[in-house]
Amino acid sequence: AQKVTQAQTEISVVEKEDVTLDCVYETRDTTYYLFWYKQPPSGELVFLIRRNSFDEQNEISGRYSWNFQKSTSSFNFTITASQVVDSAVYFCALSEFPVHTGTASKLTFGTGTRLQVTL
Amino acid sequence: DAGVTQSPTHLIKTRGQQVTLRCSPKSGHDTVSWYQQALGQGPQFIFQYYEEEERQRGNFPDRFSGHQFPNYSSELNVNALLLGDSALYLCASSESPTDTQYFGPGTRLTVL
């Protein structure tokens, strides 16, 4: 069974601080995808990134960066120089790729980390 | 380019009633997935539709059913509503069952 753990329930930072959101996953499959989504107060989940299990390169997109380490089953997300607009709930998710069905399965989400950025 | 749209935005029902939620996928997307998000929790997968068939289902009772139409839009039906069905229902669409899912704004269902 697949599982995603986001141990940090809530994080508060002051604007311009760097912040890292932790994500640890469990899966028995060798092929899978990892995701991060942002959920602002409006409720809509906004896609941020998708990585497959064979690509452990870290990725940077503006102030966002992601660190994928298969050895520790972690896919952490760092926001550099945080801004008030970054305040939201952030979800890490896992999607297995069962070879026998040939289709990606459901997204399994963690419980989310609420990030509060204040002035 | 319109994103995923859902209707209605909010809905209030009483126990035992039935409800239908609607979703239109992004242009070019043919796969629709539905999720239930209880307050303070992560979304839970209900089911996925592709080629007008239910392709995969999560751990939800048969009271939850769905449909996909030839234009790829989808409906989620919930019968015999329980208080515990109160949640935000999210629809997501993707270019195929293997691609990234993009979410709509959700329908907030309250069961009294």
B41-66 pLDDT, tens per residue?
Answer: 999 999 999 999 998 899 999 999 99
Section A29-53 average pLDDT: 92
Does residue B105 have a cis peptide bond before it, meaning omega lies within 30 degrees of 0?
no
Query: Could you give the percent of chain A with pLDDT greater than 70?
Result: 93
Mean of the pLDDT values across residues A109-115?
A: 98
Residue B34: pLDDT band with limits 50, 70, 90: very high
pLDDT at position A87 is 97
Instruction: Give the per-residue pLDDT at A88.
Output: 98
Which residue of chain B comes nearest to A95, CA vs CA?
Answer: B98
Closest CA to B110 of B5, B19, B2, B7: B19
Confidence band, pLDDT 50/70/90 cuts, at residue A1:
confident
pLDDT of residue A9: 97
Q: pLDDT-based confidence at A102, cuts 50/70/90?
A: low
The Cα of A106 is separated from the nearest Cα of chain B by a number of Å equal to: 6
Are B25 and B100 in contact by the 8 Å Cβ rule? The answer is no
Residue among B89, B82, B87, B101 nearest B23 (CA)? B89
The rounded mean pLDDT for chain B is 95
Q: Beta strand A88-96 with A107-109: parallel, antiparallel or unpaired?
A: antiparallel
B88-109 pLDDT, tens digit each:
999 999 998 888 999 999 999 9
Q: Residue B85 has what pLDDT?
A: 98
Coil, strand or helix: which one is B85? helix
Contact B103 A47 (CB under 8 A): yes
Contact A91 B33 (CB under 8 A): no
Q: Looking at residue B1, what is its pLDDT? A: 67
Lookup: tokens for A90: 């952030």
Give the pLDDT confidence of A57-74 residue by residue, as tens digits. Answer: 888 899 999 999 999 999
- For testing the chain A interface, which of B56, B60, B91 should be mutated: the one with the most A CBs within 10 Å? B56
The position carrying tokens 């102030």 is A63
The SS3 assignment for B81 reads: coil
CA distance A40 to chain B (A): 11
